[in-house]
Amino acid sequence: MFDPIEKLKEHLRHASVSTDSAFKEGMNGSRDFLESLFGEMGLKVEIVDTDLHPIVLAKRQGNPSWPHVIIYGHYDVQPADPVELWESDPFEPVVRDGRIYARGAADNKGPQMAHIAAVAQALEENPDLPLRITFLIEGEEEIGSPSLLPFLEARKEELSEADLVLLSDTLSPSADQLVVTVGLRGIVALEVAFEGPKSDLHSGLHGGAVYNPLQALFEVCASLHDSENRVTVPGFYDAVAQVEDWERDELAALGANEEDYKEFLGIDALHPHPDYNAFEAIRYLPTLEFNGMGGGYQGEGSKTIIPSKAMAKITCRLVGNQDPFKVGALVKEAILARVPAGIKATVEMGHEGSPYLVVPPGRPNTPEDQPVRLAKAFEATGRAITEVFEKPPLFLREGGSIPIIADMKKVLGLDSVMVGLFLPEDNLHAPNESLNLAVLEKGIQVSKKVILALAEG
C-alpha cells in the first residue's frame, strides 16, 4: 500500500492549471500521475479525450449484481496568482504545523486522495470485495466543466447503471465537525455593457448635457436590490424551494455565531435578507452579486472625461427548483427595462449551472421511492463519520456551486453523497492554500468504512 501523503505530494507538484495553456505540461503530468496510480491499483484506466483536457476514467468491474459507486473528483487547480503572497512555492508541497501547503491541496487533490487511498486499502485487504467502482476525475472543473456534460450524455447507458456518486469537494466548518452536503446552489453569469457617446468626452465641455454611461450603469445596478437586500427582479424568487424544519435544526446545531463570522470576514455588519439570518441566507436563498464593474479612466491621478462605455459582471446563485436560463432571462429583462434614454445596453449570458438538492433518509420530506442503496450510503456515511470523528455529521446545504452534480442527477439519474473534507481556513483559490492532514487521514478512514458498507449491498 502506498503512502497517501507522499502520493499527494507527488500529485501536487504537477501545476495542473486548466485555464492557462502555459500549464499544459502540468495538466499532462497530473493526468499521467492518475493513470499510473490507478493502474498500480489494478483498475482498468481509460483516458477520454475532450476538446480541452482529458477525463481520467478508472474502473473496477465485477458482477453486474454488485453495487456500483462512482467517485468523482477533478485534477485541475486554480492559478496560483498572486504568487508573491505565497510563503512557499505553490507547486512544491510543504508540510508545517500539521498542514500540507500547495495549490490544489484542498481543492481537490487532497480530498480526492482520501477516496483513492481508501479504495486502495479496501481492495488490498479485500481482493474479492463485491463492489464495482468507477473513478471519474475530470480536468476542467475550475473552468466550468464544459466537456463533462457531453461525456455524461455519451456514456449515459454505461454510467447510469451506478447506484450513487461519492465525492469530497465541499466544506466542513471545523476539523472536528464534518458536514455531509445535501444541497448546492446553482449559478448563472451575465455581462452587462452600457454605451453612450461614440467616444470619451471632455467632462467640462459636455458634462451636464449627456447621460454618463457609468452613472446609468450604477443606477440600474443599484435598482436590482432594495434597501433590505431583496432582489427586485420580478419573478426572481418564484421557484425557491421551501426550507424544512429539520434543515433549520441542523443549521442551528452548527452553532455558528454572527459576531465570529463578522470578525472572520473583517466587516462591521452583515446584510442578509430580512427574513433569514446570514447563515440561512447563504444556503437557502438565491443571490444577485456584482463581481466586477468598469469604465472610464483607471490609471493614476485623474482624467476628466465622460466615458463612452461602462460594464458590469453579474452572477446569480440559485437554489431549489430555479432554472438558470429562466432566472438569467428575468435579470436581463429587468436590466434592459431600466436603461435610460441616451444609453444603449446589451446583456449577454455566460456560464450556468443548475442547483442541486438531495434529502437524506428518515426525514419528513425524504422521497418514498428513494433508492435503497442511496439510503444505505447516507446511513453508512453518518455512522463512519461519527465513529472516526467522534461526532455525528451535520446534513447541510452549501452556498457554493458544483454544476456537474446537478448534471449527474439530470443525465444519469444519480444522487450524490458529498463529504466535506476542506475547512474555511484552507484558503481555497487563494495564496497559501493548505489541507489539514489530520482531516485527510480521518477522511481516508471514513471513505474506507463507506466503501466496505456499500459492498454489503
Report which of 234, 229, 322 is spatially closest to residue 277, judged by C-alpha positions: 229
Instruction: Answer whether 357's CB lies under 8 Å from 320's CB.
Output: yes
Q: Quick one: cell of 78?
A: 486554480
**Amino acid of residue 347:** V
Q: Quick one: cell of 300?
A: 493614476
CA separation (Å) from 134 to 32, 131, 163, 288, 422? 17, 10, 11, 37, 23
Query: Tell me: the pLDDT tens digits for 381-402?
Result: 999 999 999 999 999 999 988 8
Q: How many residues make up the chain in this entry? A: 457
The residue behind cell 442511496 is: 374
Instruction: Answer whether 354's CB lies under 8 Å from 193's CB.
Output: no
Show the CA angle centred on residue 176, arms to residues 118 and 319, nearest 5°. Answer: 85
Report which of 138, 179, 126 is spatially closest to residue 423, judged by C-alpha positions: 179
Q: Quick one: cell of 276?
A: 433569514
Which CATH architecture best describes the domain 186-240+286-353? 2-Layer Sandwich (3.30)
Give the H or E element holding residue 33. Answer: helix 24-40
Helices (H), 76-190: 110-125, 148-154, 156-159
Backbone φ and ψ for 128, nearest 5 degrees, come out as -100, 25
Report which of 142, 185, 121 is spatially closest to residue 451, judged by C-alpha positions: 121
Report which of 162, 138, 214 is spatially closest to residue 371, judged by C-alpha positions: 162
From the CB of residue 419, how many other CB atoms can be counted at a distance below 10 Å?
A: 25
Query: Tell me: the pLDDT tens digits for 300-322?
Result: 999 999 999 999 999 999 998 99
pLDDT band at 144 (very low <50, low <70, confident <90, very high): confident
Query: Tell me: the pLDDT tens digits for 5-54?
Result: 999 999 999 999 999 999 999 999 999 999 999 999 999 999 999 999 99
Residue 130 burial by Cβ neighbours in a 10 Å radius (0-12, 13-18, 19+): middle
Average pLDDT over residues 101-115: 98
Helices 110-125 & 4-12, crossing angle to 10 degrees? Answer: 140
pLDDT (0 to 100) of residue 320: 87
Report which of 259, 457, 256, 284 is spatially closest to residue 375, judged by C-alpha positions: 457
Helices (H), 41-131: 110-125
Which residues neighbour 168 within 8 Å (Cβ) at sequence distance 6 or greater?
A: 73, 108, 111, 112, 114, 115, 418, 419, 420, 421, 422, 443, 447
pTM: 0.90
Delimit the CATH 3.40.630.10 region(s) of the chain.
4-184+356-455
d(CA 195, CA 343): 6
C-alpha count within 13 angstroms, C-beta hemisphere, residue 94: 11
Longest dimension (CA), the chain: 83
Which residues neighbour 166 within 8 Å (Cβ) at sequence distance 6 or greater?
A: 69, 70, 71, 72, 115, 377, 416, 417, 419, 447, 450
Q: Quick one: cell of 97?
A: 504545523
Delimit the CATH 3.30.70.360 region(s) of the chain.
186-240+286-353
* 241: pLDDT strictly greater than 90: no
- Mean pLDDT score of the chain: 96
d(CA 437, CA 100): 7
d(CA 227, CA 88): 44
CATH number of 4-184+356-455: 3.40.630.10
Query: Tell me: the pLDDT tens digits for 279-296?
Result: 999 999 999 999 999 999
pLDDT (0 to 100) of residue 403: 87
Q: 190 has which bridge partners?
A: 314, 349
Average pLDDT over residues 145-169: 96
